[in-house]
Structure 1
Amino acid sequence: MHNSPSPSSTALHRSPLWLMLIGAAILVGGFAWQYAYSSGGAEPGVAISPPTHDETVSAKSETAVFAGGCFWGVQGVFQHVQGVQRVVSGYAGGAADTARYETVGTGRTGHAESVQITFDPAKVSYGTLLQIFFSVAHNPTERNRQGPDVGTQYRSAIFPMNASQQRIAQDYIAQLDSAKSFREPIATRIESYTGFYPAENYHQDFLTLHPSNPYIVINDLPKVEELKRLFPQRYRIEPVLVKPAA
């Protein structure tokens, strides 16, 4: 995803040569998409059933924290969901003093690239956010990686904010696995929430601000299109941004 190398992640797709090759591929059209699927790029969304158990509305605003690989794409997907009020890219699972991009990139901090989602539960439930998370935001069957990005910092994880969220997440994973909704078992971990630390400013709203970035074109814009295809009633055209346009 990013330009800084780390010992626990693949480096080819971050190199200037890779960006040049993918940029050329995009210009010639179909080859770019063939490359995307053959090299761990965007995968089609998966139509899955909603959670059997979901929360009841008890507040005007709630928070969810998910980790699903590179936070650029996960943030971009949820910024297009009706009822979502704010989505911040950041780090969860580690300590405050290691919540920096270069340090997290080593894969040794316990952090995962994550998003903090503030939402109106009267408009979109926690269970619906989980459905979108599993269906289009990432591939929940990949362990300690996501597409071309490899390392524990790219793991699939849910950080419940309370007992209700934890129960809903646990039940939903069991439901999806029992129904064999995916070809492989779900690898998503449910981890204790110990804090969320916003990422550096240049990571915020990255998909919206850099739609022609080769990584975004190959790995993330297709996820937004899958959101629109599989959840047309949930899709919002204008994203809710961390830094609204002046």
Structure 2
Amino acid sequence: MALATFGAGCFWGVEYFFREVEGVIDCTCGYMGGKDSYTRYAEVKTGTTGHAEVVQVEYDPNIVSYQRLLEVFWQNHNPTTLNQQGGDIGSQYRSAVFFHDKQQKHQAEVAKLALIKSAKWGSRQIVTEVVPCQQFHQAEAYHQDYLAKNELPSCHISY
């Protein structure tokens, strides 16, 4: 098994669309990229801790490639809005790929460059961070699989 970590706005929707991918074993909502060694939602939502809402994806690389996970990531959020996805505003909702090794870093950078060259977003700048994986803080239990547990429609938006 392997891990991938993505920030693409509210982690409820991010978790939802990754759970739909064949080869994904599990998804865990959490926080990454902040300055504190411990955090929780009440602090992260203030936007002052530096953490992003992320989903850590456990996947079987024999079934799904990291490249495919990157495609899902790019297809399901707007990588041109700095610190914002839809109505969620703040650095905790930033677009980020947290790579776990040099190969993931390379693949993420190549995918980002390909997206820029594709002109899919016109003249808008891709603001997605490609940064090293940091300490992962699992979000509170009520955030895990939130959309499915609460029978809410997906906040999945295809851009």
TM range (shorter): over 0.9
Query: Residue 135 of structure 1 aligns to which amino acid in structure 2?
Result: Q
Greater share of helix: 1
Aligned to 1:107: 47
Query: Residue 74 of structure 2 aligns to which amino acid in structure 1?
Result: F
Aligned to 1:233: none
Residue identity over aligned pairs, in percent, reads 41
Counterpart of 1:164 (choices 94, 100, 103) is 103
Counterpart of 2:23 (choices 75, 79, 83) is 83
Correspondence 1:190 to 2:130: yes
**Following TM superposition, by how much is the alpha carbon of 1:190 offset from its aligned partner in structure 2, in angstroms?**
1.0
Please give the TM-score of this superposition, normalised by the length of structure 1.
Answer: 0.61
Correspondence 1:146 to 2:85: yes
Judge which range, 68-77 or 182-191, deviates more.
182-191
Task: Report SS of the residue matched to 2:99.
Answer: coil
Q: Deviations over 1:57-104 (max 9, x none)?
A: xxxx1100000010000001111110000000000001322x200000
Query: Residue 163 of structure 1 aligns to which amino acid in structure 2?
Result: K
**Following TM superposition, by how much is the alpha carbon of 1:187 offset from its aligned partner in structure 2, in angstroms?**
1.2
Aligned to 2:9: 69
- In the TM superposition, structure 1's runs of 4+ consecutive aligned residues that sit over 4 Å from their partners are none
Distance 2:118 2:145 in 1: 35
**Following TM superposition, by how much is the alpha carbon of 1:185 offset from its aligned partner in structure 2, in angstroms?**
2.4
Query: Residue 10 of structure 2 aligns to which amino acid in structure 1?
Result: C
Aligned to 1:119: 59
**Following TM superposition, by how much is the alpha carbon of 1:175 offset from its aligned partner in structure 2, in angstroms?**
1.0
**Following TM superposition, by how much is the alpha carbon of 1:107 offset from its aligned partner in structure 2, in angstroms?**
0.6
Task: Report SS of the residue matched to 1:96.
Answer: coil
Distance 2:141 2:10 in 1: 15
Query: Residue 207 of structure 1 aligns to which amino acid in structure 2?
Result: L
Query: Residue 180 of structure 1 aligns to which amino acid in structure 2?
Result: A
Counterpart of 2:37 (choices 96, 99, 104) is 96
Distance 1:191 1:111 in 2: 13
Task: Report SS of the residue matched to 2:119.
Answer: coil
Correspondence 1:180 to 2:107: no
Distance 1:132 1:77 in 2: 8
**Following TM superposition, by how much is the alpha carbon of 1:181 offset from its aligned partner in structure 2, in angstroms?**
2.1
**Following TM superposition, by how much is the alpha carbon of 1:179 offset from its aligned partner in structure 2, in angstroms?**
1.5
Mind listing any 5+ residue stretches in structure 2 that lack a counterpart? none
- Whichever of the two has the greater Rg, that structure is 1
**Following TM superposition, by how much is the alpha carbon of 1:156 offset from its aligned partner in structure 2, in angstroms?**
0.4
Please give the TM-score of this superposition, normalised by the length of structure 2.
Answer: 0.93
Query: Residue 155 of structure 1 aligns to which amino acid in structure 2?
Result: R
Query: Residue 114 of structure 1 aligns to which amino acid in structure 2?
Result: V
Distance 2:18 2:37 in 1: 25
Distance 1:86 1:101 in 2: 21
